[in-house]
Amino acid sequence: MTKEMSRGAERARYVNGLFAQIAEHYDLMNRLMTGGQDVRWRRFAIQKLAVLPGERVLDLGCGTGDLAREVLRVTPSAQVAAADFTWQMMAVGKAQKGALPFVTADALQTPFPGECFDGVVSGYLMRNVGDLEGAIREQLRVLKPGGRVVILETTQPGRNLLSPFIWLHMHLVIPLLGGLISGVREAYQYLPNSTEKFLTAEELAERLRAAGWEDVGFRRFMFGTMACHWARKP
């Protein structure tokens, strides 16, 4: 195993452990951190995915399954699979919101055959994977030609007049609130740190183009700290 692969595996274990600890409070914290705007962003993401009746969709890194449920709300006849490598997140989703076709899977190596989905959507997955290019390739692999991908993810905000207030919210308010509600302050220190180390929206769009995706676009939200990307497999 190379050093890079070892670091990726170590990161995966660390992230898995964090999300397992905060699973019960994950959705509540998302609502509080974003002032409820994460619901609107998920709706926008599924709108961009444009699922047709009967199409097959993969919610990758599904957490408690909110994106998969939004697909079914908009297109009830869609065939949805919801996959995550933290089974505790899916267990909370099942207990609190009802069952979905949940599958325990690594985003770098899913158990699905090639070219079996019409769309792949993910929420807050990509900055957590140990191999970004590998995750992008895997989504290309499972999509049919012409299939769509939509990625909802935190991103580095540009510098502006609000930057000091954004920094305070991310580094002081979120860890304090997360610690009080979940009891795991470390997880909500990881969030701003991983966001600042992740790509800008422009850089992620370029990675998608370099991997072979077409019709790449994105839109920013929440003062540039959030972005929704979309693209199509040739």
Read out DSSP for 129-192? SS-HHHHHHHHHHHEEEEEEEEEEEE-PPPP-TTHHHHHHIIIIIHHHHHHHHHS-HHHHHHHH
What global pTM score does this model have?
0.92
pLDDT in tens, 40-75: 999 999 999 999 999 999 999 999 999 999 999 999
Q: Once rounded to an integer, what is the mean pLDDT over residues 203-214?
A: 97
pLDDT grade for 191, boundaries at 50, 70 and 90: confident
Type of residue numbered 21? Q
Q: What CATH number is given to the structural domain containing 209?
A: 3.40.50.150
Q: Which domain holds residue 95?
A: 3-232
- Asked if 147 contacts 118 with a C-beta cutoff of 8 angstroms, the reply is yes
Tell me the average pLDDT across 138-162: 91
Q: How many domains does the chain have?
A: 1
Residue listed under structure tokens 């972005």: 227
- From the list 82, 63, 85, the residue with the least C-alpha distance to 71 is 82
